[in-house]
Structures are given as structure tokens and as C-alpha cells.
Structure 1
Amino acid sequence: MTTARTWSVALNGAVGHLVEVEADLSNQTPEFRIIGLPDKSLGEAVQRVHNACQNSGLDLPRRRLTVNLSPASLPKHGSAFDLAIAIASLATGGTLNQRAVRRTVHLGELGLDGRIRPVPGVLPAVFAAVRAGFTQVVVPRGNEPEARLVPGVEVRSAASLAEVAVWHGAAVDVDDVEPVLLPAPVSRREDEHDLADVIGQDEAVEALIAAAAGGHHLLLSGPPGAGKSMLAARMPGILPLLDERKALEVASIRSLSGESVTSLDRRPPLEAPHHTASTVALIGGGSRSARPGAVARAHRGVLFLDEAAEFSRVALDALRQPLESGVVDVHRSGFTARFPARFQLLLATNPCPCGNFGVRNAECTCPPSAVRRYAARISGPLRDRVDIDLGLTRVAASKAISDARARVTTAFARERVQAAQERAAHRWRGTPWQKNAEVPGPVLRRAPFHVEKTERMILDRALERGALTLRGYDRVLRVAWTMADLAGRGRPGEEEIGRALHLRRGVAA
């Protein structure tokens, strides 16, 4: 009886787990079986591996071959185990160097002709291999660029199974084959829109800067043409560039989504799903394996929901948990997947179905009950998690047609945001938090960060008369700290608290 083993990676959400692929050969009726909680696509690997070996000039042993994926209790999904299964199976016949095979992690799907096809999630899989102490991984040629983004590991890319087998000592000819590559990366938006193009919405621009500086969630409400989408498109541009660790997190999510990752993009992502998106499209999921939804793809960036009141109420309320925890858990029968989801939520909505409610010189055709129902589409608990709730009006024609540009450019706003974030990071050093929006309310309400009673009097009055919940009270405090950081002050005073309270629309002092 001969046994050989190698390694691969099972992905559970954005987390990779090392899987030992163990092949055992016994003198019984020829059979090829895979055990260890494989899904349907893994069960089909038997035929893919058999045909790939045969068409590559590599002979599998003609005896009973059992491949075990350990730990057996861990669910395994997808076809990325094909290459590891083939290498372990071939090694049982003594044609491969078993020591080299044991030291290497193999990732890749096999075609029937022996070519190795790219698979999603190679970046987090290679990260998992490095964390487990492996120094060599074999990946498909199409996944080579993203695998090389991980430091501290030797990446070997292959176009065919025969090529990998030769590396491990097999005596077989390697034909020149055309590698299977991923489609060219989708070109992400360029920072071509400048904040200076926004005319006549100075208060909204300042609210956008405050949201970016403190990591606050923002709701913009106003009629069509008020500039809500225009402001949202400029939000990522005023955010500071991501550091390497955060950029790798974003790239890992893109890899799990099946996108081609060739380099680190330091720009914060912007996700803007259509209002017809389902709950699964927003949160993530899938019947066989969990795929990241819009909230995960917006990690370290901005999730923009235009026409927010048109989204399904169930889908909107599903955002409440990731907004609080910064992660999203996808529960399915047999497994649970966790994805990071620390994003800034930017909502834009009209005041009513026709969009003209409260607009001067415009006729609203909606009955009062329709206006109330439309506003209630964004539930109270979700609104309570929004730090800044700002109403917009249309820009006067005299301003819209003028040649004047706003004084605040994207570059200047980014500098202000960067400086404010550095002040906050310095203040919260030694804690788990970096931005004001992340700090728990009880911390802000006790020494040494509490605001003097005389300066927070207007805030206390709003809480006493029920205009604010305690969660809303804490969110006003967080925004006030951000206002102080933008102004270069050591702590918020009455002016900062008043401005923060004003930015929660409908709350008066």
C-alpha cells in the first residue's frame, strides 16, 4: 500500500484553511474515489483528473485509489483542488518526488486536455498558505500576478499538469500549450471628477468631507437634479489612499469575486448596486459556495445606494448588522462564511415617489400617505445608524450657469481629510479604533473624552425630549469630534456639537 500527500486550501468566506490532500493506493478493484466532505464540483474532479492525466501522458495507477481531503469536517467547495488531487494521485505510483510534493501547496482547476485553469480566491488562499508556514505554492498561469502580491512565498505558475509533474520529477514531455488566462481587468473609475465641479452645494460638500474624515455614514435627500449622485461619485476621491494591508484586503475580495487582480489598487473601492438588487446581491451568498456581495466588495471604501427608497426594505434592513460589526456572516445549510465589510454607507433618496415634494415652484402629485410610505421605506433603525442626514435643494439657475467653480477641490479636500484622520488616529492610538465613527458611545461619554456639560447642553435637551435616541446621541458626539479634528481643535465645543446636530436633519436645538 502506497500513500502520498500534498496540500491545497479551502476558502470559507475570505478566510483560507489548509487542507491535506492524501491519496492512498490499494490492491483492490480499480476505482477512484474522493472523500472528506466534497461538494458536487469536487466529486466531478474524478473525471477531470483522469482525463487530464491521460491527455498529458501521465498514467494513474490501475488500482483502487482513494483521495481524502482532511480535515473531513471542513466543507470544501469548487474545483481549485483538482491540481492537488492529481499530483497526490500520481505520487502514489512513485513517479514523483514525494518530499517535494509534501512541501508544496497546489491550487488550480484541470481541463480535460491537461491545461490548468485559473480559479477565484487565489490571493487569500496564498495568504493562508504563508500563515501556515509554507514557502512554495503552485498556481495557474492566469493567477500568477495576484499570487505574487503576497510576500514571503515562492510562486510557481504552470500552464499544464505535465509542467507541474516535471517539476516534481516526472519523466514526461511538456508540450507548449496556450495558457488559460483570466479576462483583462475591468478598468476601475479614474479620479476624473473633481469636487470643484459641484456648484452651489457648499453645505453638502462640507458634510461629504466630514463623512470622509470620520468614517461616518451619510444620507442625502433631495429632488432629482440636486446633485446627490454627483456628490457620491466624488466621495472616494477625497478619501486617503489605502495602505498596503488594506489594499491587499480589497484585492482579496476582488479575487474571491472572480475578478482579475494584476496589481494593488490603493484607491478605495466604490460599489453602486442598482436598486433592483436582491438581499443576496447586497449581502452575499450562493447555494453551493458563498460569494461576496456588494457590502464586502465595498470593504475599505464606499457603498453607494442611489434611489435608496426603491431598494427592497428587507435588503436595506440586512445592512444593519454589517454596519455595526464591520463583517457580514452568510449562513447556509452546512457552512457559514464570513466576509469583511467595513465600509462607508452613502444613501441618496428623493423626498417622494415623484421627487417634487417640498420643491419650490414644482407640483407634487403624490398623496400624503404615499409620501409617508416612501419615507418609511428606509426604516428608523437604519436611519438611526446614519451619522449625517442632510437635505438638499436644487441649485439656483444663476449659480448653475455661472462659470464660477467651487473653492474646494478634490485635492484640497483630501488633504483636510488626511489631516483630520491623522489627528483621530493619534488620539485613539493604543485602542482598537482609528476613526471617530468606530469609537463606542460609552467611551465618548466618560472621562477623559467626555464633553463638558455646558457645551453639550443642546445635545442633552434633544435627548430628553425624544428627538434623539441614545444611539443617535452617540453618533452626534462622533461627528462633533470629527468637526473638531477638521478645525484643528483638541476637543469639540458648543459650535462643533451644534453643527453635528444640524447635520442630523430634523433635530433642532
Structure 2
Amino acid sequence: MYGRFAVKGATLRGVEAVPVDVEVCVGSGIPAFCVVGMPDAAVQEARERVRAALRATGFSMPNERVVVNLAPGSLRKTGSGFDLPIAVGLLAATGQVDPRIAEGALFAGELSLEGAVRPVDGLLAYALRARDLGMRLVCAEAPERLVAIDGLELRAARTLADFRTGAFALLSPARPSRARSALDFRDISGHDMAKRALQIAAAGRHGVLMMGPPGSGKTMLASRLPSILPPLEEHEALEAALVHSVAGEDVGRLLGGERPFRSPHHSATTAGLVGGGSPPRPGEISLAHRGVLFLDELPEFKPSVLQGIRQPLESGRVTVTRADGNVTFPARFMLVAAANPCPCGYYGDAERDCTCTSAQVSAYQNRIGGPLVDRIDLHIDVGRTRPRDVLGTGGGTSSDDMRAAVMAAREYTSWRRARAEDDGSAEALVRSCALAPDDEGFFEEAARAGRMSGRAIMRTLAVARTVADMDETASVGRGHLCEALAFRLREGVGPCS
């Protein structure tokens, strides 16, 4: 029994599915089952899964020499998603199923030993690739992992036995509704300055560094930031869901419009935070794409790990370099960080003495690194909460009220930029501020006195422009500059003093 057949599959590379031709040849020679074309261990193991699945579903495994070639041969193939295309190619090559079943289809799925088709990571990437190729996607029945895409036909294969008839059910992705956040700023009494800073950050997509003693409410404030952010737009939700799909995480809440909120532990490695591994996988900064990355206990992170996020903060993407090429992941996120001012946490606290030496305080704060701090727009001190405020929990400003102001500011920003043809450049930012001569001189003197870098000057100006947008004013005034400078040139403790 001799035959050849080719089936279309794909392999994940970054957040994209790269098309692969799965060529199956059944011919004479010593009986064997070989997979060639730079497969990894998971692809090599497909031989045993396919062999068992064929027998469990009533098909026969040919007692011939079977060679599976994954083309192009120069591309490394990873993952268990090749189980299904290999099995389909083998069945078509041996005449056990109608070859027309594979026409115009891209296959992706893992096989159980009983022949059931299981979903694989990155189904959304496979779906987008199938659409670009003008093909339909045949995969496991997993509507919660997919999204409706115009021009794409989705078909579900529950088991290998379905290929006898080729009657695959039409797969309709679930349409999740946006879940309302259970966290509300109403739960936090006091901290008006911190709430104002977070509101400005949400309106202008700025980073925030909060510093204060333990138990002052930094984590509570940060965890409620998503509740005042606008929902994801359709293209933003698809971008974020694509990263989560490749990482094997749930995409339902993202497709419902909820922005991601990632809070990795300070023991995270560079690969875990920035991305990497073999094959390269997205890190926490990419999983926070279009959302919030919260780094609690910032000085406790390894300095080398923290410095890895400096470039993505500027570019909005991270590139992982390997011997076989570069892989790029999106990483456009809002950075929110919280830190204690010293190892004991009470340096500068008015009610509790610090037990650290000056050298310990300096060394602790220097773990963050000046270059990273310089890239964070808003620096605020979060002081100890008064007992009266703690007992008044539930009486603070609600997230709904704060979100309304954020939405209004973003709408005004969009209108202003469209009107002025603002391309987001530094020149456009300076022009949009339209500073009066006296205000420009005041800002220059403040920047000189604060020894601000060029980056810090532009970021402070961007914050002032956001404050002006919240007031819906065409130009930036002295009051807007003063508020932006107050969030940059802090009088409290910490590395930004």
C-alpha cells in the first residue's frame, strides 16, 4: 500500500502561526514511522499518539515505511498541534478516508490515545492564519478559545472517526459578556492624591510609582485601576487575546472587553517577566498588553530582571533573540509599581521609627535603578491611612465616577489629536501644549532645578497635557504644569526625591 499526501498545518512562532506543509509518504522499506523537518520532542511524540489513535478509532496503521516531512525544513516545528494533520495525511495517503476532506483546510489539534481531538495553545493564531490563507480551520471543539472572525469558517472535529464521513460540525465561538469588576475605589477612603494620580494615569496611559510604608494601601489602589479604564476596543481585545491564546491562558474575559491585569511575584525570572524559553513564550509584560502590569515590592525584583522592561516601555514590544532568529511579542502596557522606601519599610514614616542605616536605605532604593524610574511618569507617596479613614471604608469616590472623567478625557484627547493631526511625536506634544512664554520659562526653571533629564521633561509635559485634557482646555496652563511637576519632583522619600 503506497501513497503520498500533503496536509496543511502550522507551527507557532511568537504570536503568529507559520504555515507548514505536512507531507506523508507511505512506501516500501523497513517498517518505521519517521518525522523529519526539525521537529521538537512534542512533534516526535506524535508518532505514538497517532498510532494509538488510529487503532482506537478503527483505522489501520500501515505495516510499511511511513515518512512525515514538515516543510519548510529550515523552520523549527513545535507543539502537539501536528497530531491531527499527521493523522489526516496518513489516512488520506493510505486511502482510508476521502482525500477531498483536506482540501482548503488547515488542521490543528492534539490526539488522545482514544482518538479524541484536543484543543492546543494558540488556536486564535491558527484561526487568523487560516483566514489569511483563505482556508477553513478544522480543530477541536473549543468555542471558548476562539473568536468570530470575518471570512473564516470554523469546523470542529471531535474524534478521528469523524473523518470517515467528513461531517464536521460548524463551530460557533462563544460571545462573552464583560464581567463587571468586583473591586471599586469606593472601598478606599482617603488617599485622594493617589486616586487623582491613578485617574490621570488612566486618562493618559501613564506609568505610576507608589512608595510608602507597609499596609498603606498601595496594593489596594493598584488592584482597582482596571475598574476605571475604558473597555478594550475590538482590535485591542483581539491583540491581547492572541497573546493569551498562545500562552494557553483563558481569553474569554479579554474578548468581553476586560483589560488584563498582571501581577507577577517578585521572584519572577527574566524569561517569566520579559519572555523567552525554548520555544520562546510571551512573558508577563506581553500578557499585560493593552492592560496593566503591577509590580508589587519593586525593589525585591532582581535588578537584571527589572532592567529588561526598560526598552519595552519605550517601544511597546519585546524582541527575543535566539540562534534560529528573532521573535517579537507585543508589550504595550501601563506600568504600576509599588515599593517600600527601605528594607524595614518605615523610612520617613511620621509614626514609626526606621531601623535601617543610611547605607541600607540607599542600597535598597538603588535596586530599582534610575533609568527605570526615569521612565515612570507619576511618582507619589502613599502615606499611612488614618484610623478614621479605615473605619470609613465604603465612603470614597466610586470607580464609576472616576471612570466617567477618564472616558471624557480620552474622548477629548482623540478629538484634539484628530483636529491637529497629532502623530504622537515629541514635536507634536510640545506644539499641542501651546505654552505661554511665562509658563515656558517657569517650566524650564523647574526642570533645571529638579535636574530632570530630557526624557523626564517630555514625560512631565505629557502628564501636563493629560491634565489639561481632563479639564478640556486647548492649551496647557501654569496649574497643569504645577500638578505634573508635583507628581514628578516629590518632596517625600524615595529614589525620585
Same-fold status (TM-score > 0.5): yes
Moved more, 214-223 or 247-256: 247-256
Cα deviation 1:340-381 (Å, max 9, x = unaligned):
111100000011111111111211000000011111111110
Contact 1:484-1:496 at 8 Å conserved across structures: yes
- For residues 433 and 296 of structure 1, what CA distance do their matches in structure 2 show? 27
- Counterpart check, 1:15 vs 2:6: no
Q: Equivalent residue for 2:143?
A: 144
- Name the CA distance, whole Å, in 1 between partners of 2:132 and 2:414: 28
Q: For 2:268, which of 274, 277, 296 is the aligned residue?
A: 277
Whether 2:110 is the aligned partner of 1:109: answer yes
Within the candidate set 301, 304, 307, 1:314 is matched to 304
Which whole-Å deviations, capped at 9, do the CAs of 1:244-266 have from their partners, x for residues lacking one?
Answer: 22122222222222224456231
2:204 aligns with one of 198, 214, 223: 214
The answer as to whether partners of 1:100 and 1:168 remain within 8 angstroms in 2 is no
Alpha carbons 1:37, 1:74 under 8 Å: kept: yes
Q: 1:305 to 1:88 in 2, by over 3 A?
A: same
Q: Select which of 232, 250, 258 maps to 2:222.
A: 232
Would the aligned equivalents of 1:123 and 1:150 in 2 still touch at CA under 8 Å?
no
Residue type of the partner of 1:67?
Answer: V
Unaligned stretches of 5+ residues in structure 1: 170-187
- Does the CA contact (< 8 Å) of 2:450 and 2:489 recur in 1? no
**Letter of the structure 2 residue corresponding to residue 500 of structure 1:** A
AA matched with 1:6 = V
Pick closer, same or farther for the CA change 1:33–1:428 going to 2, 3 Å.
farther
Q: How does 1:315-354 map to 2 (within 5 A)?
A: 315-354=305-344
Distance in 2 (CA, whole Å) between partners of 1:470 and 1:250 is 32
1:83-482 matches, cutoff 5 A: 83-134=84-135, 136-141=136-141, 143-167=142-166, 191-262=181-252, 264-287=255-278, 289-402=279-392, 405-406=395-396, 408-429=397-418, 439-445=424-430, 447=431, 450-465=434-449, 467-482=451-466
CA contact (8 A) 2:342 2:365 kept: yes
* Residue 501 (structure 1) aligned with residue 485 (structure 2): yes
Query: What is the TM-score of this pair, normalised by structure 1?
Result: 0.89
After superposition, give the CA deviation of every residue in 1:152-198 in whole Å (9 maximum; x if it has no partner).
322221221122343179xxxxxxxxxxxxxxxxxx99522221222
SS at match of 1:468: coil
Change in 2 beyond 3 A, CA 1:164/1:324: farther
1:398 Cα deviation after fit: 3.6
Assess, with a 3 A threshold, how the Cα gap between structure 1 residues 199 and 260 changes in structure 2: closer, same or farther: closer
Distance 1:403 1:65 in 2: 69
Letter in 1 for 2:156: S
Q: Distance in 2 between matches of 1:316 and 1:231?
A: 22
Contact persistence 1:390–1:505 (CA under 8 A):
no
1:63-118 CA-to-partner distances (Å, cap 9, x unmatched) read 33222222222221111011001101211123333233131111111122212222
Q: Offset of 1:384 from its aligned partner?
A: 0.7
Aligned residues: 482
CA contact (8 A) 1:5 1:98 kept: no
Contact 1:7–1:105, Cα closer than 8 Å, also in 2:
yes
CA-atom RMSD in angstroms: 2.5
Structure-to-structure mapping, 1:49-60, within 5 angstroms: 49-60=50-61
TM-score normalized by structure 2? 0.91
**Higher deviation after alignment, 394-403 or 74-83:** 394-403
- Which range is displaced more, 107-116 or 76-85? 107-116
State how far apart, in whole Å, the 2-side matches of 1:147 and 1:363 are. 55
Q: Retained in 1: the 8 A contact 2:14–2:280?
A: yes
Q: Is the 8 A contact 2:240 2:287 kept in 1?
A: yes
SS of corresponding position for 2:195: helix
- SS of the equivalent of 2:268 reads coil
After superposing the two structures, state which structure 1 stretch, 320-329 or 89-98, moved more: 89-98
Give the drift of 1:478: 0.7
Identity of aligned pairs, percent? 37
- The aligned amino acid for 1:205 is K
- Provide the C-alpha distance between the structure 2 equivalents of 1:363 and 1:46, rounded to a whole number of angstroms: 66
CA distance in 2 between partners of 1:488 and 1:427 (Å): 9
**Residue 385 of structure 1: CA displacement?**
0.5
